[in-house]
Amino acid sequence: MRALQWTGVNELSVGEVPDPELLDDRDVIVKVRRTVTCGSDLHLLGGYIPFMRSGDVLGHEFLGDVVEVGSAVRNHRVGDRVVVSSFVACGQCWYCRQELYSLCDNGNRNPAITEGLWGFAPGGCYGYSHAMGGYIGSHAQYVRVPFADVGAFTVPGDVTDERALFASDAAATGWTGADLGGVSPGDVVAVWGAGGVGQMAARAAMLLGAERVFVIDPLEERLAMTRRYVGCDTLREGTDDVGAALLEATAGRGPDVCIEAVGMEAGGGSPLEDAYDRTKQYLRLQTDRPTALRHAIYHCRKGGSVFVLGVFAALADKFPLGAVMNKGLTVRGAQMHGQRYIPMLLERMQRGELVTEHLATHVMPLDEGPRGYEMFKTKEDGCVRAVFLPNG
Ligand SMILES: NC(=O)c1ccc[n+]([C@@H]2O[C@H](COP(=O)([O-])OP(=O)(O)OC[C@H]3O[C@@H](n4cnc5c(N)ncnc54)[C@H](O)[C@@H]3O)[C@@H](O)[C@H]2O)c1
Ligand SMILES: [Zn+2]
Ligand SMILES: [Zn+2]
């Protein structure tokens, strides 16, 4: 089959790889209709997560048709149109029973790397390096889906492919941040990052009853998209006085919940802060640039909550621990728990409460994947997400 492969730092190519096969009775094989780029893939592309091997197939967000079914699968049949959670989870371990699916003890076939790095291994993720399970990714014509009864969800007939695709990851990630960040009715919420994840976190906060939601990003075109399709307020990092605007909206207190949806390749901040972080990351004296996280912690109200949705690899310098402690903040983070939210997200998509298709700014055949990634990385032509059609 055709697949988009990582062949080195900032190097991609489309080639032939073996078709996937059922390896376990709980597997299904999905013929991919649509698969989409994610900010997380940029960290792999740029070499910031050093556990890729040349030839690895990228991609973790996808929707398609079930074409083969293992003998123990109960919920799916050949022909089902399914959207699949980007994280692989067994549904039975202690973590899955707490609905913390991305922490599944059985989702990562190769836990040694992350156990060494973080103490314990989280679950696995399609196409997301050998540290996260070494699964073959979804930028391919077919994907093997393990634990299919748990991770694949039949899409209601009246929800389009274009919309449902984003239940796989971006929408579920946004919901994870707003829900576990503790957004409550009446809250003021600030979200750093207006990519697919930040926009979906803002929409989730609105649907959970936030009174006012701000999305902050340096890119005006993404902010304009956010105002139009998400329907919340925006602030331009580097131009607007973000602090003053957030204070004004909260009677001088600051936002109740601050969601970081930028991650380890953040820009922004003062020129000194930016140069410091880039130099330390370049010299491998830190793995992550936590600029937006620092801002979220700084602007959050006393006693408020900061949620880290952006992906971080290991160590970040100048972490404002004093602010966390003295302001009584709660800081949490997570990879998304798709299995927990996807059925509810599909219902909201069906009712038109959750609109996602505007994120797919560029749609193309899989063979044009390298160009799609280049556009997504450089944000050329307003690219927010490149969607690939592996089977035409
Ligand atoms: N937790 C999860 O399960 C999960 C799932 C998917 C993606 N992610 C992560 O979420 C993050 C965002 O993903 P995305 O797909 O939206 O990425 P993206 O690259 O499309 O968007 C990131 C946005 O952050 C903006 N930005 C950069 N510096 C900023 C700053 N200082 N302040 C405000 N905004 C700033 C950029 O301009 C860009 O618009 C990434 O780190 C990605 O890896 C996490
Ligand atoms: Zn993703
Ligand atoms: Zn599990």
Task: Please report the pLDDT score of residue 385 as a whole number.
Answer: 98
- 263 Cβ closer than 6 Å to some ligand 1 atom: yes
Ligand 2 ion: nearby residues, β-carbon < 5 Å = 38, 40, 169
Above 90 in pLDDT, residue 2? yes
Q: What are phi and psi of 125, to 5 degrees?
A: -140, 135
pLDDT band at 269 (very low <50, low <70, confident <90, very high): confident
* Residue 235 near residue 216, CB atoms below 8 Å: yes
- 91 Cβ closer than 6 Å to some ligand 1 atom: no
pLDDT band at 268 (very low <50, low <70, confident <90, very high): confident
Query: Which pLDDT tens digit goes with each residue over 317-359?
Result: 999 999 999 999 999 999 999 999 999 999 999 999 999 999 9
Query: Which pLDDT tens digit goes with each residue over 136-153?
Result: 999 999 999 999 999 999
Tokens 């997200």, residue located: 345
Residues with Cβ within 8 Å of 365's Cβ and at least 6 positions away in sequence, in order, are 388, 389, 390, 392
pLDDT band at 232 (very low <50, low <70, confident <90, very high): very high
Q: Where are the alpha helices (DSSP H) in 102-155?
A: 112-118, 148-151
* Residue 291 near residue 274, CB atoms below 8 Å: yes
Residues with Cβ within 8 Å of 42's Cβ and at least 6 positions away in sequence, in order, are 265, 376, 377
Task: Please report the pLDDT score of residue 392 as a whole number.
Answer: 87
Best of 36, 40, 42, 308 for a ligand 1 pocket test (most atoms within 8 Å of beta carbon): 40
Average pLDDT, the chain: 97
Above 90 in pLDDT, residue 129? yes
Nearest-5° angle of CA 328, CA 334, CA 335? Answer: 165
Give me ligand 2 centre to Cα 358, in Å: 17
d(CA 154, CA 101): 18
Ligand 3 ion: nearby residues, β-carbon < 5 Å = 89-90, 93, 96, 104, 106
